[in-house]
Amino acid sequence: MKRKRRNHSAAFKAKVALAALKGDKRLAELAEQFEVHVNQITQWKGQLQERASDVFATAAERSASKGPDVKELHAKIGELAMENDFLVAALGRMGDASAKR
């Protein structure tokens, strides 16, 4: 019989990943202790190592790394909308001119 898919909490994942980082036990022993697959432990350990710097990041650093500024995106949308309107009008005029020939 297949075992149901389990959803682990962030706290549990952190606990397992920290145990793997300590290196006191082998991955096989940790997998048996926490009842998760060795590959899952390795994945969580890698994620913890990649994102460990985020824990100590300041609020300004976190907001800067989130992505582009919303105001800049709205300005770009407005610019593109104006270009589209211009091109639609220009193509409409070109279509009228070719029809007169």
Q: Residue 59 belongs to a domain with what CATH number?
A: 1.10.10
Q: Give pLDDT tens digits for 12-57.
A: 999 999 999 999 999 999 999 999 999 999 999 999 999 888 888 8
**Confidence band, pLDDT 50/70/90 cuts, at residue 93:** confident
Please answer whether residues 18 and 41 qualify as being in contact, where contact means their C-beta atoms are separated by less than 8 angstroms: no
The structure tokens listed for 65 are 């790394």
- Residue with the larger pLDDT of the pair 72 and 58: 72
Do 43 and 57 lie in one domain? The reply is yes
The structure tokens listed for 64 are 């800067």
Report residue 70 CA to chain centroid gap: 17
Do 37 and 12 lie in one domain? The reply is yes
Which range of residues forms the domain containing residue 8? 1-66
